[in-house]
Amino acid sequence: MSTLLELDRISHAYGAQVIVNELSFELEKGEIGCLLGPSGCGKTTVLRCIAGFEPIVSGEIRLNEISVSRAGFVLPPEQRRVGMVFQEYALFPHLTVTANVGFGLHRSTKAERAHRVAELLQITGLMEVANRYPHELSGGQQQRVALVRALAPYPDLILLDEPFSNLDVSLREYLGQEIRELLKKLNITAILVTHDQAEAFAVADKIGVMHAGKMMQWGSAHELYHHPANRFIADFIGQGTLIPGKVTHSDKVETELGTLAGNIYHPGHSSREIAGSQVDVLIRPDDVIHDNDSSLRAVVVHKAFRGAQFLYTLRLASGQSVLSLISSHHDHAIGEKIGIRPQTDHIVVFDRVNSQ
């Protein structure tokens, strides 16, 4: 595989206000990346810099090993072979689906344009609505038309800015999977921007978690979940709580839940280096198992119905809270004490905060 997109320590600022701070990542051809983070973290600004809509004050952006942005130079957007799908879709209301999709093909012959439009409408199941106008389409159909219009001119890279934000939750998941399949089928390199980690997990091969203009970590969903680079990633990705513990062996940690055994991951350290250390242990909901026969008891303080499971918030004897996913066949009342036990094979720990 060859590298299609490289961001090398790019920074963007409005006067003295730094929006993006020395951010780096790269995408191989055919990969789908995602910039994930809370509102205001700078992720959409990065997308606009890649598109050529915003300049950068330092660093460099390269497409196909060609510099397209650096301090004092911005290659115009129309020369980058980059397509963009905006949050609002930005379809032309007075044009049919066919005309919207073919809009960016003005340099093609009439026959070439008709062939390309028909090809994409067929692939995406939009042929039935080819002669309709945007207001006659559902939200999901409008989203697909916007994507197909961006794909029509054979771009090297597609940028998607919060593409599912205007859709209901059930449709988001379905379209996320559909768009991933389409991009993979066409071998299109793409970057998605979202604040929703479920969308990121469903669509992307690589995810970059951003915070305050910086890249906190770049990797697969599995890497972010099981090997978080810092506390921010551990808190932002998935759900979990941090409880005090002591590393007693290279593969054991003593906690209020009992002895946790498994591979210990501490960012920047080997498990042998931290033996004997006081740590904070990341406990995910799937690490805490319901067990009526266990002597370890916890009080139900909150529960959220998830269909097949309840997500319980449980209070331990010390007052520390943990989360647990338990089959919805076990419907426990608030205030009820239930038996639990830890079940871990992978343990994430951080240096203890405020340890004495």
Q: What is the DSSP letter of 333?
A: P
Q: Are residues 250 and 219 in the same domain?
A: no
213 plus 89 within the same structural domain: yes
- Domain boundary residue among 231, 259, 289? 231
The CA distances from residue 35 to 65, 172, 224, in Å, are 21, 17, 13
Of 231, 256, 282, which residue sits at a domain end?
A: 231
38 & 132 share domain: yes
Residues 75 and 190 grouped into a single domain: yes
Using the structure block, give the residue that is written with the tokens 């939200």: 139
314 and 260 share one domain: yes
Full domain range(s) for residue 81: 3-231
pLDDT band at 342 (very low <50, low <70, confident <90, very high): very high
Q: What is the pLDDT of residues 47-105, one digit of tens each?
A: 999 999 999 999 999 999 999 999 999 999 999 999 998 877 789 999 999 999 999 89
Residue at which a domain ends, from 174, 208, 231: 231
- Return the pLDDT at 264: 92
Question: pTM score, two decimals?
Answer: 0.89
Tell me the angle at which helices 169-185 and 139-151 cross, rounded to the nearest 10 degrees. Answer: 20
Tokens of 203: 């669509």
> Strands 258-261 and 321-327, how do they pair?
unpaired
Domain count, the chain: 2
